[in-house]
Amino acid sequence: MEKDSSLYCISAWNDQGYSHSCKDPRKLYRVETMPGLGWLLKKKLFKDELEKQWPSSDKQWYWDMWMRLPTVRKNRECIIPDVSRTYHFGSKGLNMNPYLQEVYFKKHSIVNESNVALKDLDRITADKYEVMINEILKSGVVVDHSNDPCDSGLVPDNKDTVHVMYIQMPHPTDFTTWKQLAKCYHLWDLDVRGFHKSMWRLYLNGTPVILVGVPASPYHSHKPDSVKPFVLEEPSKKAKAQ
């Protein structure tokens, strides 16, 4: 963190790290969202910046939601693991009930081994991470975009090569297609998390997958001209259109 001023925090939690959507305990990602649930930040960041504006007790703010505000985060990113190091086990609380625990937290994975040697740790700083992602996309396998993006057979089982999906995303805050895919893949869909420059990294069928928003993400330059991005509409809008 001392070497990279673009970092906001380092978290032990991956919002999309379910048992079916993560795999490699050595892998790290950069994301534009603050996951919480076990995290650290630089003392200097807290003392010089955050503490001075921390919401007082009379403000109706949850600290984590406040930390996620764009005006507070200031475009800084967090490092997260592919497989979480923490686990959410509480099913009752101010913002929690048994249903949410069952659907959104119970099936989260947690590392069950010690002394894990982190992968590409020297490439997690901002500049080097961009080089790495572009290398991965350049060598990745583009899935068949003529198929249904929710088809479980779209991504092959247990391959080492990264498979790439391009989804419609006209601008960085248009998450329409992503939200529907998150539901299809049984990921976190209560709000949008875990992205980096309109791109998500996860596992499907045991195979590493990168989803790139087109044209919002700068990585869309890797998309072959013949590939038409996946488009999924909200059910209510689709029904009205019919």
Convert the pLDDT of each residue in 158-195 to its tens digit: 999 999 999 999 999 999 999 999 999 999 999 999 99
Please enumerate in sequence order all residues whose Cβ is within 8 A of that of 152, keeping only pairs 6 or more positions apart, or say none: 205
Do 65 and 94 form a contact (C-beta atoms < 8 A)? no
Q: Which segments within 18-139 are labelled E, that is strand?
A: 28-31, 39-40, 77-81
Share of the chain above pLDDT 70, in %: 98
Angle at CA of residue 57, ends 91 and 35, nearest 5°: 45
The reply to whether 64 belongs to the active site is: yes
From 64, 148, 151, 191, the catalytic residue: 64
Question: What integer is the mean pLDDT of 193-198?
Answer: 97
Output 152 or 201, whichever has higher pLDDT.
201
Query: CA-to-CA distance for 217 and 175, rounded, in angstroms?
Result: 12
Please enumerate in sequence order all residues whose Cβ is within 8 A of that of 160, keeping only pairs 6 or more positions apart, or say none: 207, 208
User: pTM for this one?
Assistant: 0.92
Question: What order do you get walking across the sheet with 207-215 strand by strand?
Answer: 141-142, 163-169, 207-215, 199-204
